[in-house]
Homo-oligomer: A and B are copies of this chain.
Amino acid sequence: MIKKSNITVCFTPEQFHHYTDKKSTVVVVDVLRATSVISVAFECGVNAIIPVETLDEALKYKKKGFIIAAERDTKPVDGFDFGNSPYHYLNSDVSEKTLVLTTTNGTKAIHTVKNHKVITASFVNIKAVANYLIKENDNVIILCSGWKNIFNLEDTIFAGSLATLLIDSNKFKSNCDSLNVAQQLFRNANGNLFNFLSRSSYIKRNNSVELIKDIHFCLSPTIDSDIIPILKDNKLIKL
């Protein structure tokens, strides 16, 4: 009989304590845009990414020669090398550099679970992440970063997409209502994620031309990354 591992979906970092068993692999998702940017930055050649919680903490790294990136409330922050757009990395030379990143939700989510086995996922590396999780076949918690600890549609629909790949592999099972919902939303989107998210609070918050371009990229990326970012000693490196 095939061993079936357990998957759950947790909608916000604040609720994670209800889901953790201390042993599951935690997949952190902030599809708009932190975990998409993390994948793109690795594809562009950075050798490590240090997720930090505060702007001050990130600024201290700048003096030590790191490249630093920040986003607050969807916008870039003065004094930082990059914001939270995948295009900032695609249009720059970041190879062999270490990036220090702080964002409203995604890097905070990573900190919440830093004592677990943590990988990051987005549509940029979804296939690689699914194949890895299926191969490992450990229990999985998909942690949506949410928006300031409030449920959001975009991370949930990604969770539904990833969960569907895992459940369909026949090596995972779930008895989790939030996973059930994530899968329903993914089905409801019917392949048109941008249209599905057009009524989301995220797009109502900021619908600038630049952000809409980023959203299109994050939902239908032109890169299919094999890299799985994994947290080791508070630093994301390539698995």
Contacts and interface: CB of A to CB of B under 8 A. Distances in A.
Contacts of A181: 151, 153, 156, 181, 185
A63 interface: no
B148 A177 contact: no
Contacts of A151: 11, 177-178, 181
A15 B18 contact: no
A95 B148 CA distance: 47
A180 B153 contact: yes
A57 interface: no
Contacts of A176: 201
Given A148-B18, A149-B15, A150-B15, A200 B185 contact: no
A37 to B, nearest CB: 21
A204 B200 CA distance: 32
B177 A184 contact: no
Interface of A: 11-12, 14-15, 18-19, 147-153, 156, 175-178, 180-181, 184-185, 188, 199-201, 204
4 smallest CB-CB distances across A and B, nearest first, come from A153-B177, A151-B178, A177-B201, A152-B177
